[in-house]
Every structure is written in C-alpha cells, then in structure tokens.
Amino acid sequence: MVSYKELGLVNTREMFAKAIEGGYAVPAFNFNNMEQMQAIIQACVEASSPVILQVSAGARKYANQTLLRYMAQGAVEYAKELGKNIPITLHLDHGNSFELCKSCIDMGFSSVMIDGSSLPYDENVALTRKVVEYAHQFDVTVEGELGVLAGVEDEVASEVAHYTKPEDVEDFVKKTGVDSLAISIGTSHGANKFKPEQCTRNADGILVPPELRFDILEEIEKRIPGFPIVLHGSSSVPQEYVKIINTHGGALKDAVGIPEEQLRKAAKSAVCKINIDSDGRLAMTAAVRKIFVDSPAEFDPRKYLGPARDELKKLYIHKCESVLGSAGKA
C-alpha cells in the first residue's frame, strides 16, 4: 500500500474549491508515455497551473499502471527541478470496476473516476458509493458520472448522447458522497464529436458544431450549487493540426471538436475539471507526420518525438492560458 501523500501528489479537493472560487477549470491531460508527461509538466510549470495527470484503461494496457505511477512520482520531482512545486493529481480516468479503483488507490493514485454512467441509476449509485467508501479512508477523491456521452466511452459505444438529467444530480451526490460529477451536455470523446449533419458549415467550409447544452449545466448548478462539475470529451480539434495531418499523408475526415469559447464559458461556471486527450494526439501526430514528410532520412526517434513534445507543450500552455484560465493559479 502506497499513499499518494508520500509521493508528493495531491487529491482534487482543494484544487476544485479554488477553481470554483476563481472561475477557472483545472486541466486534466491524459498521458501514456514519457514525452506526453514531460510536455504536460513543462507546460504547467511554465504556465504555473495546477494539473491532473490522467491514466485511462487504455494507458494502463499500453504503458503499465506501475510504470505510469512512477512517472507521476517523477513528475512531482521534475516540476520542482523546473522551478515550481505545482499541485499535481494522479487520476484514474474512466475506472469501470471497484477492483480497478482499489488497485489504483492502493498503489498511489490520489483521485479516481468510477464511471457507472452506462449502468442503471441504482447500480451506478451503489458502485459509486462503494468506491467512495473505500477511497475516502485514504483521502483519495472520487469522480462519478451521470449521463452518457456519445461515442466510445469506457469501451462502451453509444450512438447518441444521453444528457444528464438535472433532477437526478442532487440525489446522486447525496447518496454516493462523490467529490465531483462528470456530466453529459453535448461533449463526446475523440476527434469526430459531431456528425456533419449535426453541424452547419462556415464560409470556409469548416464544420460548426451545435452549442453545448448550457441550459442543462445551469439547471444542474442550481440544484447542487458550488459542487465541482467535470467535462469529458473537451478537445477542440484544432483545424490547423487536422490540415497538417491531412496534407502530410493523413486521412482525418470531418474532424470537429468543441469550440474554445464554449469551454472558456464552461470554465467560468462550476465546471472545474476539463478533460483533454484528443487535441494532444492531434498535435503530436501533426508534428511527427510533418517531420516524416519533410525529413524522410530522419530515423532517430528523438528527432521526431522531441518536436512532437514541443508542440504538445505549446498546446497545453495555450489551454491553460487561453481556454481554461488555470494559468497563474498554482
């Protein structure tokens, strides 16, 4: 049993309280490898932002949970070495069982998500409650979810989004004791968040998605005032990356994300954690594809992963400074 406190990590309680008070959101960036972790820490130290390092089920399979945990421990030391002791949380993204959440808590994670959103309501309550009871013994914070995002979530594919029902949130929060709640108001995972027929096209032919359901968010806030809300699926799918990818051998079709102004608006509300993964994937892929085309003789991985890491860092600084408002809050 390893306590996250010995590793220098923090849970999300104080982070979220400050974010709600300050009208900003803490970035939750997924990581699977060293370059992503370096980019996240370099960016958040430079922007002086608190940060949540997220480990998904896919990341555990790809990189191994133990290695990722040691990397997060290393991230704390790395941030100090770079000159700023920023608050860092190690969070399990989309935990799908009590056993998985327990295993992460026991090995040093400071926060877990139990995603029972695809279960019937009462089963979601019971599973979430069980995780909260275990986690709180060790001062580990828990994120629950109500409502289902469209797309692939937790390896469960849903064709349509089931928006969170505001009338459920108070009961869910009270019965489960969760520390934060992920909701469904129109975001979804991946780089194709909306079907072209759901969007309009602007003068340049770029797809413009429908607005997020801020009315649902407001209704939820009214029912659980000041309670930390989480937005998953919040990548904006920058079209400049899509263009670089597609002009350098890629084939991304109809990729569209959540406009940054809408995320800025959400961050000023009770939304205090915003999850971003796909944008990082696009940034790295764009950088790597460009180098492969422009410098075909290059075969030292540092020569393409290094620039990919730099692009990622630039993207994350932009998110902290101009989208989430978390810069300067560490």
> Which residues make up the interface to ligand 13P (CB under 6 A)?
30, 93-94, 189-190, 232-235, 275-279
Pick the binder of ligand G3H from 91, 129, 189, 319 (CB under 6 A): 189
Q: Name which of 42 and 275 has its Cβ closer to ligand 13P.
A: 275
The helix or strand, by DSSP H or E, that contains position 292, with its residue range, turns out to be helix 278-294
- Report which residue's Cβ sits closest to ligand G3H: 58
Tell me how far apart the alpha carbons of residues 95 and 84 are, in angstroms, rounded to a whole number. 30
Size of the site for ligand G3H (CB under 6 A): 9
CB of 7 to ligand 13P, least distance (A): 22
Q: Is 30 in the site for ligand G3H (CB under 6 A)?
A: yes
**93 classed as catalytic:** yes
Choose the binding region for ligand G3H from 51-59, 126-134, 165-173, 316-324 (rule: CB under 6 A): 51-59
Cβ atoms of 280 and 29 closer than 8 Å: yes
Q: Name which of 30 and 262 has its Cβ closer to ligand G3H.
A: 30
β-strand partners of 113 = 143
Cβ atoms of 163 and 184 closer than 8 Å: yes
The residues, ordered by sequence, that sit 6+ positions from 62 with a Cβ below 8 Å of its Cβ are 32, 33
Tell me how far apart the alpha carbons of residues 78 and 71 are, in angstroms, rounded to a whole number. 10
Q: Name which of 216 and 237 has its Cβ closer to ligand 13P.
A: 237
CB of 229 to Zn ion, least distance (A): 14
CB of 222 to ligand G3H, least distance (A): 28
Cβ atoms of 148 and 130 closer than 8 Å: no
Residue 273 near which of ligand 13P, ligand G3H, Zn ion, none (CB within 5-8 Å, type-dependent): none
Q: Is 74 in the site for ligand G3H (CB under 6 A)?
A: no
Residue 235 near which of ligand G3H, Zn ion, ligand 13P, none (CB within 5-8 Å, type-dependent): ligand 13P
Q: CA torsion angle for 93, 97, 98, 100 (degrees, to 10)?
A: -60
Question: No. of H helices and E strands in the chain?
Answer: 12, 12
**Residue 302: exposure state from Cβ atoms within 10 A (0-12, 13-18, ≥19):** exposed
Q: Distances in Å between the alpha carbon of 140 and those of 3, 135, 237, 252, 318?
A: 9, 5, 32, 39, 29
Residue 234 near which of ligand G3H, ligand 13P, Zn ion, none (CB within 5-8 Å, type-dependent): ligand 13P
The residues, ordered by sequence, that sit 6+ positions from 317 with a Cβ below 8 Å of its Cβ are 43, 46, 47, 327
Q: Name which of 272 and 291 has its Cβ closer to ligand 13P.
A: 272
Residue 73 near which of Zn ion, ligand 13P, ligand G3H, none (CB within 5-8 Å, type-dependent): none
Residue 59 near which of Zn ion, ligand G3H, ligand 13P, none (CB within 5-8 Å, type-dependent): ligand G3H
The set of catalytic residues is 93
Q: Which residues bind ligand G3H (CB under 6 A)?
A: 30, 56-59, 93-94, 189, 277
